[in-house]
A = this chain, B = another copy of it.
Amino acid sequence: LSINQVNEMEYEDFISTFGNVVEHCSLFAAAIWSQRPFHGVKQLHKTFCDFIDTLPKLGKEGILRSHPDLAGRIAERGLLTTESTKEQLAAELNTLTPEEKANLTRLNEAYKTKFGFPFVICARDNKKAAILSGLEARLENETEKEVIQGVEEVKKIAFYRLLDILQHEEAEKLIGGW
C-alpha cells in the first residue's frame, strides 16, 4: 500500500486498514482520517501519536486496558488479534518454559493489581528475557510514570504496525529508525 493510495481512501476503508494500529482502538484511525494528506509512514505515525497525546489520563489508561496480557489467557485461547499474535511470537513468548510462564503470570497479575491496567511493552523490540526483567523493573514505578511509559510502548507498537501495512520498500528504508 502506498501513501498515495492511503490518502485516497474513503474513511470506511481507512478505518478497516488502520483500525488496529493501536490495539482495539479503531477510534484513532477514525479520528485522524480528516488529517489527510499524509506524507509518509513517519508523519502518519506522528499524527496517531499527536492524537494520543491529546487524550486525558483516563483515555491513556483506557488504551492500556485495551491491550491483552503478554502470554495471558487470551493468547492461550488463540483469541489475540492478528497483530498481537505476530508480536508475541516475535518476542518468542511461545517458547516460555513452565517456570518462565509462571513467573510472567505472577508478575502480570501483580502489575495489574497495582496499576489497574496490563503491562504493555513493544514485543518486537524485546525478547522474553528482556520482557520479564522489564516487567519486574516497571512494577516498581509510580502509576503516573507507568501510564506514560505504557503509552510510549503503544506508540512503538503502532509504528511497526504501520510499517507492516505500508509499502514494503518505504518500510525497509525506515526500519531501524528508532
Contacts and interface: CB of A to CB of B under 8 A. Distances in A.
Given A32-B58, A34-B61, 9 more contacts: A24-B26, A27-B59, A27-B63, A30-B61, A30-B63, A31-B61, A33-B65, A54-B56, A55-B59
A11 interface: yes
The range of chain A's interface size is: 20 to 34
A65 B117 contact: no
Contacts of A33: 62, 65, 116
Nearest to A11: B65
Interface in A41-84: 51, 54-56, 58-59, 61-63, 65-66
Q: Which applies to chain A's interface (DSSP): helix, strand, loop or mixed?
A: helix
Nearest to A25: B27
A35 interface: yes
A65 B176 CA distance: 34
A119 interface: no
Contacts of A116: 11, 33-34
A160 interface: no
A66 B19 CA distance: 10
B15 A66 contact: yes
A159 interface: no
Most B Cβ at <10 Å: residue of A24, A51, A63, A65: A65
Nearest to A31: B62
Contact of A30 (B15, B26, B62): B62
A16 B117 CA distance: 15
Contacts of A55: 54-55, 59
